[in-house]
Amino acid sequence: MIGEPILVMLVEDNIDHAELVIRTLEDHRIANKIRHFMDGQTALDYLYRRGEYENPASSPRPHMILLDLRLPRVDGLEVLNQIKQKDELKNIPVVILTTSEAERDVARAYDNHVNSYLVKPVGFDEFSKLMNDLGFYWLGWNTHPRI
């Protein structure tokens, strides 16, 4: 990925949380581009290149997906399930970023092959550090196959 623009896909319906994620990633210069989607169906349309996203040149594959669980139209676990079942998508790291600490949610996410499950910290400083560490790990230090 050296020299390659880094694309993070953020699937988050809470605009305040989304702005915090985007601002933190931009402040730490972790991603060159962030594509934000407000619901699971639109995110799947982008990933499956349906409708307005059918052109691969304007809908490149993300290097990482940050996915909330509680989403309108299609919930995060179903989005995760569909990503991990498709050969062209399953190697994209998917990180659940949610407020839910429920053991059932954690177990269901890992049953669907999530790469990581993170609970959003309440404080801004803790959240900023989490995003910084997350970005460096998945987009800097981690080695994964080309997508």
Residue-wise pLDDT for 27-42, tens only, equals: 767 667 899 999 999 9
Residues 43 and 79 sit within 8 Å (Cβ to Cβ): yes
pLDDT number for residue 53: 96
Residue type at 20? Answer: L
Domain spanning 7-141: CATH 3.40.50.2300: yes
Q: Where are the domains of the chain?
A: 7-141
Nearest to 29 by CA among 9, 6, 1: 6
Residue 122 has pLDDT above 90, yes or no: no
**Percent of the chain at pLDDT exceeding 90:** 57
pTM value is 0.87
As beta bridge partners, residue 94 has: 65
Q: How confident is the model at residue 1 (pLDDT cuts 50, 70, 90)?
A: very low
Segment 72-109, tens digit of pLDDT? 999 999 999 999 999 999 999 999 999 889 999 999 99
Mean pLDDT for the stretch of residues 43-66: 95
The mean pLDDT value of the chain amounts to 87
Question: Helices 15-27 and 124-136 meet at what angle, rounded to 10?
Answer: 60
